Amino acid sequence: MAESENAIDEWRRRKREEMLKLEVINLYRNFLESVDMIKNFSKLVDTIKNKQIMSHVLHQF
């Protein structure tokens, strides 16, 4: 009986480790997606700034 309980405990431990690994992978994937979103937002801000600068320069003429 003790061997059976140990086997079940070991299986549960491995399952927990597997779930934690998957959770870490998902968190890292979400982090990378967030970084991409920040980069894209930064590019958008730069584009808007450049358009504003160009608009200002064109109004000078």
Whether 61 has a pLDDT exceeding 80, the answer reads: no
Query: For residue 5, what are its two tokens?
Result: 């309980």
Q: Nearest 5°: phi and psi at 60? A: -75, -20
Residue type, 43: K
- pLDDT (tens digit, 9 = 90+) per residue, 1-60? 789 999 999 999 999 999 999 999 999 999 999 999 999 999 999 999 999 988 888 888
CA Rg value for the chain: 26
pTM of the model: 0.66
CA distances (Å), 27 to each of 3, 14, 23, 24, in order? Answer: 36, 20, 6, 5
Domain containing residue 38: 1-61
- pLDDT (tens digit, 9 = 90+) per residue, 41-52? 999 999 999 999
